[in-house]
Structure 1
Amino acid sequence: MTRHPLARYAVSAVLVGVPVLLALVGPLFAADGTGKDVAFSTGAGHPFGTDFVGRDVWNEVLLGGRSLVVTAVSATALTYLAAVPWGLLAGMTRNRVLDEVVMRPLDVVLAIPSMLLLLLLASIAPDVRVLVGVVALVNLPDVVRICRAAALSLSARPAVEAMRLQGESGVHIGLTYVAPAMLRTLAADLGTRFTGAIYLVASASFLGVGIAPGASDWAAMVDRNRTGLFLQPWAVVVPAVLVVMLSIGVNLAFDRWLHDRAGVAR
């Protein structure tokens, strides 16, 4: 019996929907976070216990998802907004000098370890907007290379040659033929890229970059409460599970979409 198309996305919808819903709506139902109890306790009134300074873990979960999710989504979107036209330009140009000029600066970025950039950011400009830019910059070279490789292959097709012979401009060919044909390649990369952005943002949160000291954040919760893992594990487990759910769910959704586009039935 064939399942309804939407049913095939049920698992990924739940995995993505739960953390995203908590991140976006959770702050509306959370308290101000100033109330404190005994640290790492499991007393009444705290369904998931308290954290390292006695704050309610569930309340911190409601407050702590927005920064991680919004930053990771913004950084991923910024990466592709910059990388797709960059990769198209490099892949469709027939000028080797221009190709070198466009691609060589990316080698400099590749040579700098991402954690080194984060440490530099932590000491110079610990701001969430700068964090979004750094995460996007770290992912930019890989995505540009993927876009360039896809554009090189697509621009060699007879259809593109026919469009050029008809006098179509490179911009028109890129926007109407090459870019749409790259969607499956980009979708295959997007899930992995978003997961990488999540963990890079989480690493930044461990370093205190992009969040105010003491602010609620899922990644920071894991770091701050790890000393009490065996006393009160929920303070670490709950935020960690939400981050993992989001990463797995996004990749499952894109994998399912790619199979559907390819006409592969499961």
Structure 2
Amino acid sequence: MAWRYALALGLIAVPLLFAVLGPLFAGAPESRAVSFTTGRGHWLGTDFAGRDVWRQVLLGGRSVVVVAVAATVLAYLVAIPLGLAAALTGRSWLAELLIRPLDVLLAVPSLLFVLLVAALFRPGPGELVPVVALVTVPDAARVVVSAATEIASRPVVEALRMQGESWWRIAVGHVARSMRRTLAADLGTRLAGALYLVATAAFLGVGVAPDAADWAVMVDRNRVGLFLQPWAVVVPAALIVALSMGTNLLFDAALQGPRERTGEHR
């Protein structure tokens, strides 16, 4: 078990350190050198525009990480109350009214939805957060509804209702607490999906400037010179993959821990 945590934390720590602390150590921009060169004071070489790759890596993580994390948090702030309300309302028509509109969003591929919004409004990084959150809400809400419905059918919930407990106490005090492990498992998947969507959108030029210091933009703009200067593509791509993999591994390790301890007691 310990090695799972160590591996997951290691994969997460490196890109997060770059994203959070990187801009503090990036320094002032230098004069641009020849495109796709190595050495000459640039130990990771230069990118397609002659900028230092190391400095671009230090600056490029914040937009990807912050947008993905903020969008995931915002999605759950909407999905959890919505899912609890649909599962515990006791009125089928109200549950249908709350959930069926989400089917419309599910019918549209998430990336296509982001591209449609970008074509209409030209979102920046700040505006990209609610867009990514909106396409994340339907799946997250369905997970909440499924888990909450199963818990709400247990005798203990019926006993709480017969005792006259408030909806808030039943929904938050019992149902939401009982599905923490389910939400934790889903959170890892949603965060990885948000990272993928934000990175793909940036790769396509949505939400960021074409020459912005962004890991996904670096991969897109420098891929034409991959064999001349691979570090400009490999390093930012590896950081995105490490963060996504580390997030899933961390939640998997956290969820398997209680199962293993329960098995030991048995």
1:13 to 3, 9, 15: 9
**Matches of residues 53-92 of structure 1 in structure 2 within 5 Å?**
53-92=49-88
The amino acid across from 2:131 in the alignment is V
Matching residue of 1:118: 114
Contact persistence 2:4–2:250 (CA under 8 A): no
Structure 2-normalised TM-score? Answer: 0.94
Matching residue of 2:184: 187
2:239 to 231, 239, 242: 242
Superposition deviation, residue 240 in structure 1: 0.3
Matching residue of 1:205: 202
Superposition deviation, residue 31 in structure 1: 2.5
Distance 2:29 2:258 in 1: 46
2:213 equivalent to 1:216 = yes
Superposition deviation, residue 88 in structure 1: 0.5
Count of residues in Structure 1 that have an aligned counterpart in Structure 2: 262
Cα 1:150–1:31 shift into 2, 3 Å: same
The amino acid across from 2:198 in the alignment is V
Matching residue of 2:228: 231
Cα 1:257–1:174 shift into 2, 3 Å: same
2:255 to 223, 241, 258: 258
Deviation beyond 3 Å, 4+ runs, structure 1: 263-266
SS of 1:216's equivalent in the other structure is coil
Distance 1:232 1:149 in 2: 49
Distance 2:73 2:232 in 1: 30
Deviation track 1:19-42 (CA, whole Å, cap 9, x = no partner) reads: 001100000110333521111111
Distance 1:60 1:127 in 2: 19
Superposition deviation, residue 192 in structure 1: 1.2
2:21 equivalent to 1:22 = no
Superposition deviation, residue 111 in structure 1: 1.6
Superposition deviation, residue 170 in structure 1: 1.7
SS of 1:263's equivalent in the other structure is helix
Q: Tell me the C-alpha RMSD between the 2 structures.
A: 1.6
Distance 2:160 2:118 in 1: 49
Contact persistence 2:210–2:217 (CA under 8 A): no
Distance 1:155 1:133 in 2: 30
Contact persistence 1:87–1:151 (CA under 8 A): yes
Superposition deviation, residue 209 in structure 1: 2.0
Superposition deviation, residue 8 in structure 1: 4.8
- Identity score, percent: 57
Contact persistence 2:12–2:243 (CA under 8 A): yes
Superposition deviation, residue 193 in structure 1: 0.9
Matching residue of 2:154: 157
Distance 1:166 1:213 in 2: 60
2:29 equivalent to 1:39 = no
**Structure 1 unaligned blocks of 5 or more:** none
Distance 1:193 1:43 in 2: 40
Matching residue of 2:95: 99
2:171 equivalent to 1:174 = yes
Distance 1:34 1:103 in 2: 53
Moved more, 30-39 or 161-170: 30-39
The amino acid across from 1:140 in the alignment is V
SS of 1:209's equivalent in the other structure is coil
2:134 equivalent to 1:137 = yes
Deviation track 1:226-253 (CA, whole Å, cap 9, x = no partner) reads: 0001111110000000000000111111
The amino acid across from 2:138 in the alignment is P
Contact persistence 1:33–1:60 (CA under 8 A): no
**Structure 2 unaligned blocks of 5 or more:** none
Contact persistence 1:19–1:243 (CA under 8 A): yes
The amino acid across from 2:231 in the alignment is W
Distance 2:114 2:120 in 1: 10
